[in-house]
Amino acid sequence: MPRPLRLGVLVSGSGSNLQAILDACAARRIPAEVAVVICNVPDARALQRARDARVPTVVLPHHEHARREDYDSRVVAELRARGVELVCLAGFMRIVTPVLLSAFPQRVINIHPSLLPAFPGMHGVRQAFRAGVRVSGCTVHFVDVGTDSGPILIQAAVPVLDGDTEETLAARVLAQEHRIYPRAIQLIAEGRVQIDGRRVRIADGRPDAASTIASPPVEDP
Ligand code: GRF
């Protein structure tokens, strides 16, 4: 196994994606380790998850910084102090600035609960549900200066069922987030990911051209 890639995970809320990453690292399913968890919300559940995993935490309440850039400078300093090599936004409810992006070029990734580029921004699941899509899902993408607009690394699709509410759909999407986020980190940690304009090339990605989701299902003859 290669030397573990040092991750900095930025969170604001429940931290279930953080948990999926911590679990994958602890079980050595991915060649990575969480070097620090940075949180802008002092009582976020994510912080307790990090402490339970004995991972260093930094609480940086955003209202203590007048400008976003000043906030990001603090974040960069904390990440650098711990030798972070890949920054993972995991339910981090802040827009990041070029201060962070230029400190970690092509090394900031985010998870979003829709099949981007559809339904960026807040409430991705709600937007998809209200739009009446029959297939939705989640995306891990590289972060650029736009909102959920950077090159796409991995996606998982889920069908929208007739009995779904926004909440049941969100739960099914979230379960897929917990699968694809560790996988995205694994692919980067193994050095298999290359950004080529808008496209992300993945060496030996084992594509399965036959696997499809139709919703409702289609019985093939
Ligand atoms: C996830 O739905 C993620 O896609 C979005 O925020 C939510 C975070 O959930 N960016 P959690 O804090 O990881 O449980």
Distance CA 94, CA 96 (A): 6
pLDDT (tens digit per residue) in 114-146? 999 999 999 999 999 999 999 999 999 999 999
pTM: 0.96
pLDDT of 63: 86
Instruction: State the average pLDDT over residues 43-48.
Output: 98
> Which of 112, 123, 141, 178 is labelled catalytic?
112
112 catalytic, yes or no? yes
- Judge whether 151 and 141 are in contact, CB under 8 Å: yes
Examine the pLDDT at 204 and tell me if it is beyond 90. no
Residue 163 C-alpha to ligand 1 middle, in angstroms? 23
Place of tokens 């993945």: 202
Pick the atom of ligand 1 nearest to 16's CA: 14
pLDDT of 116: 98
Distances (CA, A) of 61 to 68, 93, 96, 130: 12, 12, 14, 33
Residue nearest atom 1 of ligand 1, based on CA coordinates:
91
Alpha helices of 27-160 — where are they, by DSSP H? 45-52, 68-81, 98-103, 124-131
Confidence of residue 2 (pLDDT cuts 50, 70, 90): low
